[in-house]
Structure 1
Amino acid sequence: MAASSGPRTILLTGAAGGLGTLMRELLPSHGYELRLLDVRPVDGAPDAIVADLNDTEALRAAVRDVDGVLHLAGISLESTFDKILESNIRGTYHLFDSVRAEAERRGGPAPRVVFASSNHAIGFTPRPRVEDGDPLVPVSTLRRPDTYYGLSKSFGEDLAQFHWDKFGIETVSVRIGSCFKEPTDVRMMSVWLSPADGARLFHAALTAKDVGHTVVYGSSANTRLWWDLSGARALGYDPQDDSEVYADKLLAEFGPLSDDNPAHLHMGGRFVDDPPIWPY
């Protein structure tokens, strides 16, 4: 898929969160003007829209005249089903419905959506033993969510497919690994997405032509990579970073991956048996 000149005014949901904060800093260098939305005030951004994802009036105003949406909002850890339902499932539905309504208002193409999916949509997939010759995990692998959180990401991917098939809304669903300034343990080295590569990937997803609904994995070009990045590269993504530069430090602190550690057996890590809980 060749890149187009692409969108320039982007609604960034979840702008006050960890990933949203990183993208607020990095995406303008790719030529974007950002319209910010979060349920909490955004530090340093008095013009940000403060609204819940279930505030349909605020969402419809937020998507008005934008070229694309980077949808990062929602609960990013495990929680009760009711909380996940309201934030990640109903909220994501309202986001897509607002984009559909905006396209109807315009009488033309809908804004492109980039949806923050997650590796936890396939969390129960056994980690590949790439060092022993196992193939990289393809995007087509069966979804096996590890939590209500992972289940909500599976729903979001299906919702995106539905909106493409029924309404022609283009979406790239990015199964993000762990986007932090640096990996914090040995497992994360396989799924780490550097913030700079995150911005490169989101830019590619916003500008590639004819994506329909495309699902890709989101990580850097890690030496210890577990999944197939060919779909992301086909969008024009060219990752520049590799977690291997942190290997000596992390291996000295934690030791290598072990089959005695349940968090090392599956793609979802500790989400499979001891997930971190959303504090709010």
Structure 2
Amino acid sequence: MALIALTGASGRIATAVRPRLRAAGHRLVLCDAPGVVVHDVDPATESTVEADVRDVDVQAEAFAGADLVVHLGAFSDERSWAEILAVNIDGTRAVCEAARVAGVRRMLLASSVHAAGYVPVDSTLARQGMPLPAPDTYYGVSKAALEAIGGLYAGRFAMTVVSARIMTFDDRPGGPRSLQSWLSPGDMTRLVLAALTTGAQGHHVVWGVSSNTRRVVDLTPGLAIGFDPQDDAEVDAEVVERRDPSRPPGVLGGGFADAAYVLGEPHGGAGDRP
């Protein structure tokens, strides 16, 4: 089967999809920053590499022979501009360049809903096709830049690149917004496998979202690359609404788009805010 390299291998998404990818028969190269421990490594099917996300040479060596690079390594929340620039933007450029140097022809890049955080949930832009970037934070800007870098490498080097605007990834939907935006571990795995096997060429921006009954974005861009999500947050709707009966936010970015959300500060300066 295929060899898949993952950056950010210690993170939540990689940790959730790894056993599913192994069960599908694939071998994995797990990359994360020096000193970061990747847990529960299966030595029969997985190898680990310590690599700064900005280090082209080390990552190119790690990616050698890979059929797909899945780029998950980044700050997953708001940070100072300097941190966002160094890790999320420069890091993405380095990962793409390392994949090119290694001869990898396919990449899946983890973008975010926050690249389009100011798009209203009830707009045609959200419900049909794929809206242009409307980032809600420095973090959102970094994901819009990721999509642009992916488009550059797809066009200049004839690579197949999927930029997935991941919405709310979790084991189960946790709140009213996630009834619209949940991405299950199973469907995230289906997204990886779609990027691995798609016959589509060039750059494709898709929504990383499950087939939720209350979904407010279009599955068509994902279906065009073979991403056909199967899970639905509605199975947990009664529990979620009993726990939190509030209405979902009016824009895709949720709380990240609030005027009170402070640019450059983790969680918008709200301490332990989820």
What is aligned with 1:75?
75
What is aligned with 2:222?
232
AA in 2 matched with 1:44:
D
Mark the CA change 1:173 to 1:184 in structure 2 (over 3 Å): closer, same or farther.
Answer: same
Mark the CA change 1:71 to 1:223 in structure 2 (over 3 Å): closer, same or farther.
Answer: same
Q: Structure 2-normalised TM-score?
A: 0.89
Structure 2 unaligned runs (5+)?
A: none
What is aligned with 2:48?
48
Distance in 2, Cα, partners of 1:113 & 1:243? 28
Distance in 2, Cα, partners of 1:179 & 1:72? 13
Larger CA deviation: 200-209 vs 135-144: 135-144
Distance in 2, Cα, partners of 1:128 & 1:30? 38
For residues 178-193 of structure 1, the aligned pairs below 5 Å read 178-193=168-183
AA in 2 matched with 1:31:
G
In the alignment of these two chains, the number of paired residues is 258
SS at match of 1:48: strand
For residues 1-280 of structure 1, the aligned pairs below 5 Å read 8-39=2-33, 40-45=36-41, 47-103=47-103, 110-128=104-122, 136-257=126-247, 264-273=249-258, 274=261, 277=266
AA in 2 matched with 1:143:
P
Could you list the structure 1 runs, at least 4 aligned residues long, displaced by more than 3 angstroms after superposition: none
AA in 1 matched with 2:38:
V
Q: CA deviation at 1:178?
A: 1.2
Q: CA deviation at 1:136?
A: 4.9
Q: Is the 8 A contact 1:122 1:150 kept in 2?
A: yes
Larger CA deviation: 89-98 vs 266-275: 266-275
Distance in 2, Cα, partners of 1:51 & 1:86? 15
Larger CA deviation: 191-200 vs 37-46: 37-46
Mark the CA change 1:175 to 1:15 in structure 2 (over 3 Å): closer, same or farther.
Answer: same
SS at match of 2:144: helix
* CA deviations over 1:221-250 (Å, ceiling 9, x no partner): 101001000121222222221001111111
Q: Is the 8 A contact 1:139 1:217 kept in 2?
A: no
Distance in 2, Cα, partners of 1:35 & 1:142? 33
Q: Is the 8 A contact 1:139 1:215 kept in 2?
A: no
Distance in 2, Cα, partners of 1:238 & 1:54? 32
SS at match of 2:164: strand
Distance in 2, Cα, partners of 1:81 & 1:137? 31
Q: CA deviation at 1:135?
A: 7.5
* CA deviations over 1:144-197 (Å, ceiling 9, x no partner): 001111111100111111111111121011111111100110011111011011
AA in 1 matched with 2:6:
L
SS at match of 2:266: coil
SS at match of 2:147: helix
What is aligned with 1:107?
none
Distance in 2, Cα, partners of 1:86 & 1:31? 35
Q: CA deviation at 1:139?
A: 4.0
Mark the CA change 1:135 to 1:77 in structure 2 (over 3 Å): closer, same or farther.
Answer: closer
Distance in 2, Cα, partners of 1:181 & 1:140? 26
Structure 1 unaligned runs (5+)?
A: 1-6, 104-109, 259-263
Q: Structure 1-normalised TM-score?
A: 0.87
